[in-house]
Structure 1
Amino acid sequence: MLDLLAPLNGEPQILPSRKLAGRVAGVYVAPADHFETVATEALTLDFQGIKGDFHAGYTRRSGGREPWYPRGTEMRNERQLSIVSPDELATVALRMGLAEIRPEWIGANLLLAGVPQLSMLPSGTMLFFKGGVTLKVDAQNGPCRIAGRLVAERADMPDVEAGSLMFPKAAKRLRGLVAWVEKPGTIANGEEVSVRVPEQWIYGA
């Protein structure tokens, strides 16, 4: 029988969609004037993101991640929330010779446990929280020296500048994800999450 889903010559391999399960292991909010977050019991979200959070807003200003725009260009805010994994944070800490890296130090809003290789979830992945919130993953969050400096300071590294340079290398592809609010509501600590990974393919033409 002809396999209609089999890749043709030169076509990319297509991976089917799948479902995973996770759990909220921590929720954090950033004051309006700084990216470092503090632990809280729940997050209240609207279509702009977390109410009162440093990264909330329908739009944001472009920075070093968008070299195709002049710095400061107003653009859609697809970075409303930062999501990290306890396993990946532990790996980064080990690489840097630290006892720990806390989610707050790198401005994380959600600590999501139980999802293997969290940072590798593709764009378009949907996060359905049991309390009703839906988030959509935009992309992997690239590590930067600004977060690295705060890690070095909070971990009392003897050479803060060296620590700030070490973090982007140690955290490459382990820095977690950025996402935006598709369906608002409240996310509580300990809440169950259904992760729906979309069909994936690599465009190689």
Structure 2
Amino acid sequence: MLDLFPEAEQPVEIIPARKLSARAAVLYVAPFDDFQTRPVDELRLGFDGIAGDFHAGPTRRSGGREPWYPRGTEMRNERQLSIVAADELAVVAERMGLTEIKPEWIGANILIEGVPHLSMLPAGSMLFFKGGVTIKVDAQNGPCRLSGRSIAQNTGMADVEAGALMFPKAAKRLRGLVAWVEKPGTIKAGEEMSVRVPEQWIYRA
């Protein structure tokens, strides 16, 4: 059989799959009419996401992140869950001259501990929770002015709009991930989990 990828040419770099251990340190849910979240003891997940949550549902409306569609186009909801890491939020807070940024201010649902460079997990990474839930990563969560405005308001910044504009730059590639529910169930706060990082292909052709 013809070898499409001669070793000498290496048109595609392939990085092996790996597994990591982690923990869902804190869980959060948003009311149906506001993206800011509050801490809870558990998350009950269905195929639509968190029942009653601001981002729940099988579909959503497109926005600024999808310039290839007219704004408001109905599309599949791959943003059911927002996942963040405390160490990354600390970096963003420092860049913004703040003492802290709380996950709930930016609508996070899961604060994960134990995954280095959480925001860099590739699309397709799978989170297997000890209780049986499986979540699949869609992509990095691009920071937006809405979250920046929430941070500015919660920290009492004198110029709220300046804070709103500062966040997208300070949080680039540190905003965490968006994900969707592959296998429903209930996640408990503090629950152990494993992360399966898939084989990655660096496409250069």
Normalised to the residue count of structure 1, the TM-score between the two structures is 0.96
Instruction: State percent identity of aligned pairs.
Output: 72
Distance (whole Å) between structure 2 residues aligned to residue 6 and residue 184 of structure 1: 42
Distance (whole Å) between structure 2 residues aligned to residue 116 and residue 96 of structure 1: 22
Indicate if the aligned counterparts of 1:7 and 1:14 stay in contact, CA closer than 8 A. no
Indicate if the aligned counterparts of 2:13 and 2:203 stay in contact, CA closer than 8 A. no
**3-state SS of 1:147 partner:** helix
Structure 2 residues without counterparts, runs of 5 or longer = none
| Residue of structure 2 in register with 1:12 after alignment | 12
Q: How does 1:52-71 map to 2 (within 5 A)?
A: 52-71=52-71
Q: Report how many residues are paired.
A: 201
| Residue of structure 2 in register with 1:200 after alignment | 200
Structure 1 residues without counterparts, runs of 5 or longer = none
Normalised to the residue count of structure 2, the TM-score between the two structures is 0.96
Distance (whole Å) between structure 2 residues aligned to residue 123 and residue 148 of structure 1: 24
Distance (whole Å) between structure 2 residues aligned to residue 109 and residue 164 of structure 1: 21
**3-state SS of 1:89 partner:** helix
| Residue of structure 2 in register with 1:82 after alignment | 82
Q: How does 1:32-111 map to 2 (within 5 A)?
A: 32-111=32-111
Indicate the larger mover: 7-16 or 76-85.
7-16
1:96-140 Cα deviation digits (max 9, x unpaired): 110100000000000001100000000000000001100000000
Distance (whole Å) between structure 1 residues aligned to residue 77 and residue 138 of structure 2: 10
**3-state SS of 2:179 partner:** strand
Distance (whole Å) between structure 1 residues aligned to residue 72 and residue 165 of structure 2: 24
Residue 8 of structure 1, CA deviation = 4.1
**CA separation of 1:90 and 1:6: change in aligned 2, threshold 3 A:** farther
Q: Does 1:143 align with 2:143?
A: yes
Distance (whole Å) between structure 2 residues aligned to residue 44 and residue 128 of structure 1: 15
Distance (whole Å) between structure 2 residues aligned to residue 88 and residue 6 of structure 1: 39
RMSD between superposed Cα atoms in Å = 1.1
1:74-108 Cα deviation digits (max 9, x unpaired): 10000000000010011100111101000000000
